[in-house]
Structure 1
Amino acid sequence: MTDGTRVRLLKDWDDDDPKAQFLRRVRDASCYWFGTTLGPDYNAAHADHFHLQNRGWGTCR
């Protein structure tokens, strides 16, 4: 965030605050640019990162 706030996917994803909203906006915007975008909602293996892949079938989770 521009004010130097630290945002952590593992800690902040499930909250309902500006950090969580920011992370969800990042994930949602990634869906436009990448064929496959996976995040914590997909499965436990993606709990701590976003999986961004150029090729794919329009998967956005």
Structure 2
Amino acid sequence: MSCPICSKDPEPRYRPFCSKRCADVDLGRWMQGKYAIATEERPVVDGASDEFDDAARKFH
């Protein structure tokens, strides 16, 4: 398996990455929301619940 960021051979200390830099790049991507897992659920915005959304639709 190669480093998922730069494709170099992994360094045991930073496995699966080749360096601290590549590990930090990956962490930064996670923190910025660049990785996502597909789901069928709708995201909750500003803490709104589905009940609130349903009630709001009745008035539109």
Whether TM-score is above 0.5 comes out as no
Look at both structures and tell me which one has the larger radius of gyration over its CA atoms.
2
TM-score by length of 1: 0.31
TM-score by length of 2: 0.31
Q: Which has the higher contact order (CA 8 A, sep 6+)?
A: 1
